[in-house]
Amino acid sequence: MEGIKLARIKNLERVIFKSDSTSIVNRVRKSKNDITIIGHRVKETISMLDFFSELKVKWIR
């Protein structure tokens, strides 16, 4: 979330967010209904991503 906030402050429109957590990357990509606490954070994160005109979410090893 901090990376998203920083990219928004800098008014970046095209971004790539990377994570080493396959679970988080998959949840953000699929954004399925998830009623867990992490699901709530994923929804919050996805709503912040609407700011960007182009973005990618990638898993890194």
Q: Is 8 exposed, middle or buried (0-12, 13-18, 19+ CB in 10 A)?
A: middle
What string of pLDDT tens digits covers the 61 residues of the chain? 788 889 989 999 889 888 888 877 777 777 666 667 777 777 888 888 888 888 788 888 7
| Domain residue extents for the chain | 2-59
* Cα gap 27→38, rounded to integer Å: 9
